[in-house]
Amino acid sequence: MERNHSKNFLLGIVFIAVGVVYLLSNLGLFPEAWKNIIISWQSLIILWSAIAIYKHHYVSGLVLALIGICFLLPELSSVLGFGYSEATLDAISWPIIIIAIGLFIIFHRHNHHKFHHDNYRIKSNVGSKDGKIDYNLVMNGIDEIFLEPVFRGGEISTIMGGAKLDLRRTSLPEGDTILKISSICGGVTLLLPLDWNVKVNSDSILGGFGDHRHTNGVSNDRRLIIEASFILGGGSIE
């Protein structure tokens, strides 16, 4: 309940801020150029990066912030008067974005080795001895069947890639099991048993994640909680 309240509060603040900017702009009290900067897809990415950092996804949050700022610089240059053009975007910003994605790959993997070495395996390995997964996919895809007897959650991260995970041959432990999914320009498909109790918390920009099964489980003591974050992508439960 507290998590949903915080999310609704933040969403409400965003809508209020957008409405205030529109109102002041229509009344001539707010510069049109700044309105176009604040209400833009670049600002949405920066906002999303702030949410990711707030949720302790520091590496992905900083990478998203860098990408958003790089694409916002041409708009800022016209307002602030510093030299920045589309040619500069091609010459400087795109290489910086590629470097940022590379840093995300390195540090994301390093952090999981450092803090979860005993709990996770990377990429193509479906699971570890305790049944947790960690997929880190960049311009790549996987199609895996999880065969361990108990699934204990984990994390799936994709950038311009896709993941398909079949969990119909495993089971959940008692209590809540958390699976975190984050994707930029990618997709994730989960194949789950019909009797699993699943709760989806989705925060997405130009994307979404939905449960397309005909039922949502009958078990009250075992539940899979999916925390999904998508930008220009989406996923589903089949």
Same domain, yes or no: 176 and 77: no
Last residue of a domain, one of 83, 114, 145: 114
Comparing CA positions, the residue from 189, 130, 128 lying closest to residue 158 is: 189
User: What is the C-alpha to C-alpha distance for residues 135 and 142, in angstroms, rounded to an integer?
Assistant: 9
C-alpha 103: how far from chain center:
17
Same domain, yes or no: 228 and 129: yes
Range of the domain at 74: 2-114
pLDDT of residue 152: 92
Let me know: does 100 contact 59? Beta carbons within 8 Å: no
What is the number of helices (H) and of strands (E) in the chain? 6, 10
Same domain, yes or no: 88 and 56: yes
pLDDT of residue 108: 56
Same domain, yes or no: 233 and 174: yes
Same domain, yes or no: 107 and 182: no
**Model confidence over 162-201: pLDDT tens digits?**
889 999 999 999 999 999 888 877 888 999 988 888 888 8
pLDDT of residue 166: 92
CA dist list (Å): 116 to 46, 92, 133, 224, 230:
28, 35, 11, 20, 24
DSSP state at residue 57: -
Same domain, yes or no: 15 and 66: yes
User: What is the C-alpha to C-alpha distance for residues 180 and 226, in angstroms, rounded to an integer?
Assistant: 6
pTM equals 0.54
Last residue of a domain, one of 114, 145, 177: 114
Total number of domains in the chain: 2
Same domain, yes or no: 134 and 214: yes
Amino acid at 166: D
User: What is the C-alpha to C-alpha distance for residues 187 and 232, in angstroms, rounded to an integer?
Assistant: 9
pLDDT of residue 113: 45
Same domain, yes or no: 110 and 154: no
Q: Are strands 187-191 and 208-211 parallel, antiparallel or unpaired?
A: unpaired
pLDDT of residue 109: 52
Last residue of a domain, one of 64, 97, 114: 114
Same domain, yes or no: 123 and 109: no
Same domain, yes or no: 199 and 230: yes
Question: DSSP string of 177-238?
Answer: EEEEEEEES-EEEEE--TT-EEEEEEEEES-EEEE-SS-----SSEEEEEEEEEES-EEEE-
Same domain, yes or no: 106 and 130: no
Answer yes or no: is pLDDT of 65 > 70.
yes
Same domain, yes or no: 130 and 156: yes
As a whole number, mean pLDDT of residues 151-158 equals 87
